Amino acid sequence: MKKKVLILGSTGSIGRNTYNIFKKDKKKFKIVLLSTNKNISRIISQALECNVKNIIISNKKKFFLAKDKYKSLKINFYNSFDILNKLFKKKEVHYSMQSIVGIDGLKPTLDLIKLSKKIAIVNKESLVCGWNLINKELKLHNTKFIPIDSEHFSIHNLIENIDIKEIKKIYITASGGPFLKYKNIKKYKINLPKALSHPSWKMGKKISIDSATMMNKVFEVIEAKNIFNIPYNKINIITHPKSYIHSIVELNNGLIKFLAHNPDMKIPIINSIYENKKTILSKAINFKILNNLNFRKINHTQFPFVKILNKLPSYNSLYETAIITTNDFYVNLFLNKKIDYLSMLSSIKKILNHKNLIKYKKIRVNNVSQVVNFREELSSKLQNLVYKN
Question: What are the structural domains of the chain?
Answer: 3-147 (3.40.50.720), 152-312 (no CATH), 320-389 (no CATH)
Report the alpha-carbon distance of residue 319 to residue 60 in Å, rounded.
Answer: 30
| Model pLDDT, residue 169 | 97
**121 vs 15, 64, 134, 147, 180, CA distance in Å?**
11, 28, 10, 6, 28
Give the pLDDT of residue 201: 63
- The pLDDT, as a whole number, for residue 306 is 94
Pairing assessment for the beta strands 256-260 and 245-251 based on DSSP bridges? antiparallel
What is the Cα–Cα distance from 99 to 36, expressed in whole angstroms? 10
* Low-confidence residues in the chain, pLDDT < 70: 187, 199-202, 388-389
Q: How far apart are CA 128 and CA 176, in angstroms?
A: 21
The reply to whether the predicted model has a pTM over 0.95 is no
Quote the radius of gyration of the chain (alpha carbons, Å). 21
Query: CB–CB of 243/211 below 8 Å?
Result: no
> What is the per-residue pLDDT for 389?
54
The CA angle 180-184-190, to the nearest 5 degrees, is 75
Q: Is 290 helix (H, G, I), strand (E, B) or coil?
A: helix
The rounded percent of the chain whose pLDDT value lies above 70 is 98
Per-residue pLDDT, 200: 67
Q: Among candidates 343, 372, 378, which has minimal Cα distance to 359?
A: 378
Q: In terms of Cα–Cα distance, which of 348, 289, 317, 269 is closest to 98?
A: 269
Q: Is 205 exposed, middle or buried (0-12, 13-18, 19+ CB in 10 A)?
A: middle
Residues near 205 by beta carbon (within 8 Å), at least 6 away in sequence: 196, 335
